[in-house]
Structure 1
Amino acid sequence: MKFEIDKRDLLSLIGKTQNIVEKRNTMPILVNILLEADNDALKVFATDLEVSLTDQVKIKVVQPGKVAVSAKSLFDIAKELSEGTIQLIKKENNWLEIKQGKYTSKIVGISADEYPIFPTYNAQSFIKVQASVLKDMIDKTIFSVSTDETRYHLNGVYFEIVGGTGFRMVATDGHRMSIVNRIQNDAKSNAAGVIIPRKGLGEIKKLLDGVDGTVEIAIEGSQFILKHSSTTLMIRLIEGKYPNYQQFIPQKLTQKIEINRENFLTSLKRVSLLANQKSKAVQLNLTNGKMEISSNNPELGDAKEEIEVDYHGNELKIGFNAKFITDILTSIAEDRIDFELNDQLSPGLVRPHNDTSYTCVLMPMRI
């Protein structure tokens, strides 16, 4: 194998693989990427057996071939080289020689035959979706994904296509839940809802950054597939049954508060600085037209701040994890939010003002 490639093309190609390759060393071979040069193109394959990526770029192929090498080593070397053409040559012992001007280096490689079999797909029914819509849906749910590995079915976002009219994403960790709906008229699918793992969602987000227009998605067997231009991302879905999230959405909430999002967010950040570092507990004390946010930590001190809110009702005191609320407020772009409650023991709802397409459920805390 021998080919020439522009530095920027090489960095762009292998840069996408850096977070996919396995770093935990459970399978040492997975720190490598597979390079295949043929038909005036360089293809790259990267996988950690959960998330797999393939991409390609046009190059000048002198001699076709393939080899697997360390993704980090190749990326680090290419990053420090000068702008312009780089020559890569596979040696007899599967080492990869990198040449530019008077610079030469060799990195240890392995035979392409030793690289894991790469996942394939036959999906014909790809759905086009706006990249900005998909990214926004991930931003509005990923913070609610559980990190508790014993509840593996909650370690991802539940994704479903709803009645041929749109998409829904749901995430919960048992303390909070985020649900977002988006309309897309051609979102037809026979597939049941699937659970996309957190790492896969992170890679989807990275791929969507800077994408203007549409991407294509499909669900085939145990895989979620996303295509854009020459890049294909394949994510192994989490097996398991997602809980019936609809039953956790509180109905007929009696207290509705309209709040300026930015005022609420900045006040929460200030007051929670002196909250318990583990629980992040703050108390909200609601009276007519006002909300007092307070925190108390015997080891650090206490803090309180009052903000104006649109609330008319009996005095209500309720505790919440401040980080959970700030995560929600950060994911909302609108100026005003609706905070709906019943009492200090029941879950509350947070939504953009008069917008039911995005709903967050919050469990209260005893303070």
Structure 2
Amino acid sequence: MRVTLERSHLLASLTHVHRVVERRNTIPILSNVLIRTDDGQLKLKATDLDLEAQESVPALVERPGATTVPAHMFYDIVRKLPEGSQVSLEASADGATLSISSGRSRFSLQMLPESDFPDITVGELSHAFTLEAGDLKRLIDRTQFAISNEEIRYYLNGIFLHTVDGPDGSLFRAVATDGHRLARADIAAPKGAEGMPGIIVPRKTVGEIQRLIEDPKAELKVELSDAKIRLTVGNVVLTSKLIDGTFPDYGRVIPQGNDKELRVDKAEFAEAVDRVSTISSERGRAVKLTLAEGRMVLTVVNPDSGTATEEVMVDYGDTPLEIGFNARYLLDIAGQLTSETAVFHLADAGSPTLIQDAGDGATLYVLMPMRV
């Protein structure tokens, strides 16, 4: 194999695919990226057996072929080459090393045979649809922070994507929860998504999709079954296994009868939470909200260091209420709100609270209270 291509094209492609490769692998071939020539292009592919990324870039193919080299080292070499340079890749006659040449720089990497490189078998993908890449990214951005890290309830380690009937037509919905908080976001369902199976996209795949979407206006093709999902944007194809589990009936934890409404300036509230939580311990990050007509007092008590309080003016006219929340969870949710006003729907100190963006009825958050 001998091929020459622009350093910028090779780097952009390696940036997309090398992230899939884990830094530590017990199976040597999984540390490598597959490079293969294909009709005037160089195709790169990487996998961890659950997630696979591949991309093709234009190249001058002098001698076709295929091989694999260490992904992260290959990426680091190309990243450090001069901007605007040409890169030549040539496999040795004995199939042992790949030479990388650019200007006066020469590198030689150990190769493993292309025949050892695994493929994710996709099988039949029952549903396919296209949508604007920014729409999917927005669903992920609004819900990703609530994905659970708990290994026992593995079915919470991703985002649940499915379709539901809405008042104005079918909705494409993303839901994530870790048992302490829940995030739900909707967009209008794209044509072809109706009737799709509910799927749980793993955390790592969610992160890769997020990084992959560089142009929010780009067209994103989604193909899926109940076991796999494949996303295509531009020349990049991302294929992933799905979490094999049943997502809980999240509708049961979304409160319907919370009759106390609180409206507060989002930025002012977030800044106040951030300030008073400075004094909290890492283990107990509880902040108490004391609500009375027209005002909220935020209080943090840390027996080891002291106390902090701050008063915020709010729009609240119901009965007085004291309720506690995890400060970090409050800040996570505030960071997702897009309008200036956060709307809290409360019941009592022991019941879940519903939080919405005053300017976005398609997104809601549920937060469980803490004892304070």
Normalised TM-score (structure 1) = 0.96
How many Å apart are 1:187 and its aligned residue? 4.7
| Aligned match for 2:334, one of 323, 329, 333 | 329
Tell me which residue corresponds to 2:100: 98
| Equivalent position of 2:266 in the other structure | 261
Give me the whole-angstrom Cα distance separating, in 2, the residues matched to 1:93 and 1:195: 41
2:207 is the counterpart of 1:202: yes
Residues 237-246 or 175-184, more deviating: 175-184
Q: Which amino acid aligns with 1:278?
A: R
Secondary structure of 1:357's counterpart equals: strand
Identify if the C-alpha distance between structure 1 residues 34 and 354 changes in structure 2 by more than 3 Å, giving closer, same or farther.
Answer: closer
SS in 2 for 1:285: strand
Map of 2:50 onto structure 1: 50
SS at 1:331 equivalent: coil
Equivalent-residue separation in structure 1 for 2:371 and 2:248 (angstroms): 25
From 109, 113, 116, the equivalent of 1:107 is 109
Shift in Å at residue 62 of structure 1? 0.5
> Residues 213-260 of structure 1: CA distance to partner in whole angstroms, max 9, x if unpaired?
321112124111111111111111000111011111111112110111
> For the Cα contact (< 8 Å) 1:338–1:354, is it kept in 2?
no
Q: Aligned residue for 1:178?
A: 183
Partner of 1:160: 162
Alignment partner of 2:44: what SS?
Answer: strand
- Alignment pair present for 1:293 and 2:298: yes
CA distance in 2, matches of 1:272, 1:29: 47
CA distance in 2, matches of 1:292, 1:221: 48
**Structure 2 letter corresponding to 1:71:** A
In the TM superposition, what whole-angstrom CA distance separates every residue of 1:5-48 from its partner, at most 9, and x where no partner exists?
11101101111123210223232321111000131110011111
Report matched runs for 1:228-307 at 5 Å.
Answer: 228-307=233-312
Report if aligned partners of 2:197, 2:225 keep a CA contact under 8 Å in 1. no
- Deviation of 1:191 (Å): 2.1
- The 3 A distance-change label for structure 1 pair 211 and 4 is farther
In 2, are the aligned partners of 1:161 and 1:187 still within 8 Å (CA)? no
Is 1:71 aligned to 2:71, yes or no?
yes
- Following superposition, the deviation at residue 162 of structure 1 comes to 2.5
1:72-95 Cα offsets, whole Å, 9 max, x none, are 111111122223211100112331
**Pair 356,72 (structure 1): closer, same or farther in 2 beyond 3 Å:** same
- Comparing 185-194 and 73-82, the one that deviates more: 185-194
Gaps of 5+ in 2: none
Identity %: 32
The residue type paired with residue 6 of structure 1 is: E
Cα drift, residue 121 of structure 1: 5.4
Q: Given the two structures, how large is their TM-score scaled by the length of structure 2?
A: 0.95
Give the 3-state SS of the residue equivalent to 1:265 in structure 2. Answer: helix
Q: Is the 8 A contact 2:163 2:189 kept in 1?
A: no
Match of 1:351 in 2: 356
Alignment-mate amino acid for residue 87 of structure 2: I
- Listed as ranges, the gaps of 5+ residues in structure 1 are none
Q: Is the 8 A contact 2:3 2:59 kept in 1?
A: yes
Deviations 1:47-71 (A, max 9, x none): 1112111110110000000001111
Matched to 2:100, the amino acid is I
C-alpha distance in 2 between matches for 1:344 and 1:70 = 54
Displacement of 1:210: 3.0
Residues 1:216 and 2:221 are matched in the alignment: yes
> How much does 1:124 deviate?
7.7
1:61 aligns with 2:66: no
1:135 is matched with: 137
CA contact (8 A) 1:291 1:308 kept: yes
Q: Secondary structure at the match of 1:165?
A: strand
Q: Does 1:144 align with 2:154?
A: no
Aligned length: 367
Query: For the residues of structure 1 that align with 2:16 and 2:279, how far apart are their CA atoms?
Result: 40
**Which moves more between the two structures, 76-85 or 324-333?**
76-85
Partner Cα distance (2:219, 2:87) in 1:
33
Contact 2:132-2:220 at 8 Å conserved across structures: yes
Q: CA RMSD in A?
A: 1.6
Query: Per the alignment, in what secondary structure is the counterpart of residue 279 of structure 2?
Result: coil
Look up the match of 2:80. Answer: 80
Q: C-alpha displacement at 1:354, in angstroms?
A: 6.3
